Structure 1
């Protein structure tokens, strides 16, 4: 699934153009790699790290949404991690 569509579907951005801006500004990382394009693929298990509303958000993708549904449905698609937890999860995934 495209990164901008994922961000919009799970309600991390109010519009698709806002999601494209988040993806293209170069401050979002997927599994530690900087991303500068909105069409970067997102898969289950990816760790997304980005700044939003003055704080760093770290999310693990749990499911890929089929639509932009209600907030409860969107929250089931990702798990919020603490910023320090992302390094531990990435290291554990690399060992597997």
Structure 2
């Protein structure tokens, strides 16, 4: 488009991660890079000012999963997800399928533990004379 500035061939890695929506803010992207959780073409990067170019392979160790990306384009802004996903190709393996728990396997309270139910309270109240039990 004639009104948009041309996207540079190289871009700072923290900006690129922010534009691709891999992280919520640019400062979080800088922290991720400085912590050594980002590798470009197999080499760990520790400077947020490191430049990435089209064709670079990025390996990210995010909080919940590891991601492998190929840079397809540099970003000009942080746009919607549909725009951001055009900036990379995702080579990450699919997330591991966690087995679903049945109702019996899920955490359940043992009978008699925890707070009494309304039914239990009424049964207890009927035994106590000061709460409506047998006052006769």
Short-chain TM bin: 0.7 to 0.9
Q: Residues 17-76 of structure 1: CA distance to partner in whole angstroms, max 9, x if unpaired?
A: 111111111121000011001000010000000111332110000111111111100000
One of 57, 62, 82 as aligned partner of 1:47: 57
Distance 2:46 2:85 in 1: 25
Matches within 5 A, 1:12-91: 12-82=22-92
TM-score normalised per structure 2: 0.58
TM-score normalised per structure 1: 0.81
Large movers: runs of 4+ above 4 Å: none
Distance 1:82 1:18 in 2: 21
Q: Does 1:9 align with 2:19?
A: yes
Distance 2:92 2:79 in 1: 25
Higher RCO (CA-CA < 8 Å; seq separation 6+): 1
Of structures 1 and 2, the larger Rg is shown by 2
Q: How many residues align?
A: 83
> In structure 2, the residue corresponding to 1:79 is in which secondary structure?
strand
Which protein is richer in helix relative to its size?
1
Structure 2: stretches of 5+ with no match in the other structure: 1-10, 94-136
Structure 1: stretches of 5+ with no match in the other structure: 84-96
Cα RMSD (Å) of the superposition?
A: 1.1
